Structure 1
Amino acid sequence: MAPKEEPVRVALIVEDDSEVRGLAAALLEETDLKVVEAASAQEAFDYLRQNADQVAFLFTDMHLSNLTDGSDLVRTVRLNWPWVRTVVTAGWPVDPLFDDMPGDVRFMPKPWRALDVLMEAERAAQAYRRD
C-alpha cells in the first residue's frame, strides 16, 4: 500500500505592489505551503474558482488598485470558502474598512513583521482540512 499523499496546501498572496508581493512570497516559501501570487482581486478569484479546495491561507492587501478591493475579496472568500484563514494588511495602523470584516479575519498593519506572517501561515497549514 502506497503512503497517503499530503494534499496541496496553498498560500494565496494578493498584492498590487510587485515588490511587497515578492517579499511576502519569499517569506511564505519558507513554510510548507505552496505560494501562489496574484496582482489583483480578479486574479485571485480566477485562481480560487479552479483551486479553492487547496487554499489554506489568504494574505491580501486591503487597498488594491483595481475595481475590486481587498475588502470585497475577503467578504467573498469568507462566504464561499470559509476554511481559508484570512489576513488583511494595509499601510494604516488601523484601517476603517476593516470594521466591516468578518470576525475571524485578522488585520496586520504594514510594515508587517515576518514572524507574524509566518505564524499565521503556520496556523493555516495546521488547521487546513480538505473535505
Structure 2
Amino acid sequence: MRKVTHTAPMALVVEDDAADRARAVALLEETELDVITCASGEAAVEVLQSCGDDIAMLFTGVSLAGEMNGVELARAVGKLWPTVRLVVASGSEGALRLPEDAVRMPKPWLPLDVLMQAHRAVRHPDPAVA
C-alpha cells in the first residue's frame, strides 16, 4: 500500500452512526486537525496503513460497521501507531479493555471534551500526557 504524507496533523473519526460522525467532524474541522472519516475499523486500518504517521488523533465509537469494534481498533492502533491519541466514545457503563493511554468518553459526549482531546493531540503528541 502506498504511503501518503500530509502537511497538517489529522484526526481519524470512526463511527457507524452518521449523525455522530458528522457532529464529530463538524467540531474537529474547527481545530488545527484535518479530518478523515470511516464507518468501519477495517477501513480505518487501511487509512492508517497509508498515512498513519500523520494521524494525531483517533476518535471512535465502540460499535462500528464491519467485524472490528472500536475497542479492538483502539488496541490495534495503540500497538501499531503508539503516538496516536486514542479517544473511545461509549454509551455503555461496563468496563472496556482499552489501551492504558486511551481516553474513554461517555456518550453522549460533550463538544468541549472532544475539542480538549484534539488540542492535546496537537500540543502533546505523546499520548501519555493527560
What TM-score comes out, normalization by structure 1 length?
0.87
1:126 aligned partner, one-letter code: R
CA distance in 2, matches of 1:16, 1:27: 17
Pick the aligned partner of 2:117 from 117, 120, 127: 120
CA distance in 2, matches of 1:55, 1:82: 11
Secondary structure at the counterpart of residue 35 of structure 1: strand
Secondary structure at the counterpart of residue 30 of structure 2: coil
Q: Deviations over 1:37-85 (max 9, x none)?
A: 1111011011000000000000000121321111110111000000000
User: How far 1:127 moved relative to its partner?
Assistant: 1.9
What TM-score comes out, normalization by structure 2 length?
0.88
Larger Rg: 1
> How many correspondences in the alignment?
121
- Unaligned segments of structure 2, at least 5 residues: 1-5
Which structure has the highest helix share of the two?
1
Q: Deviations over 1:95-129 (max 9, x none)?
A: 32x1x212110100111000000000000011238
The two structures, once aligned, show a CA RMSD in angstroms of 1.5
Q: Give the aligned partner of residue 90 of structure 2.
A: 90
- Unaligned segments of structure 1, at least 5 residues: 1-5
